Chain A
């Protein structure tokens, strides 16, 4: 069964450093997403991406964040200058249909710890 993969599984970084989280969505999917979950809190939407551009983003997704699809398979989330409050689990997801009816499948997540 096809699945979303993410690397690394864990990342520890110093405050102010840049991090890049990587995702390989399911191969025939067209819509890609990043969500995050701070420990003990709910899953929160960050950004959706379609046709090589951001289609929607949340208030959390400020200028410190960027997304890119550098090639035909990878989808990345970059945090330019990490803050302590960026510590969370970051989930990538993908779906095949824009109508909102199609299921989003989540990757296993990258646990980011900012020290």
Chain B
């Protein structure tokens, strides 16, 4: 089983749509969880950390289910500028090594 698994997509959605991405991780000792965004040929940029209670930042909502080892990201009212690859990232704890999923590609269209 992959350490961090994501559906690669692409997800093609119209502007204004709501889209959800899912991610599963294999290491139950994982302690920190993040969603990063990566534009084509650019560096990963932190979108948001994911907390056990769930958290929201504007149009973005992240959820964590430790029992199922599952993380989600919901994007409401999609904008053209949201087009990117969304990376599910996990810190398995005991150190600072980040483990990345392969990413889910989002394309928001007019």
Question: A residues touching B (Cβ–Cβ < 8 Å)?
Answer: 31, 33, 35, 41-45, 48, 55-56, 58, 89, 91, 95, 98, 100-101, 103-109, 111
Bound together, the chains give a CA A56 to CA B49 distance in angstroms of 23
Bound together, the chains give a CA A111 to CA B34 distance in angstroms of 25
Q: Which of B43, B96, B99, B100 contacts A107 (CB 8 A)?
A: B43
Q: Is the CB of A31 within 8 A of B96?
A: yes
Q: Is the CB of B95 within 8 A of A48?
A: yes
B94 cross-chain contacts in A, Cβ below 8 A: 100
Bound together, the chains give a CA A91 to CA B45 distance in angstroms of 12
Q: Which of B34, B46, B97, B102 contacts A42 (CB 8 A)?
A: B102
Bound together, the chains give a CA A40 to CA B46 distance in angstroms of 20
Known A41-B102, A43-B44, A89-B41: A98·B96 in contact at CB below 8 Å:
yes
Bound together, the chains give a CA A95 to CA B41 distance in angstroms of 22
Q: Is the CB of B96 within 8 A of A42?
A: no
Q: Is the CB of A100 within 8 A of B32?
A: yes
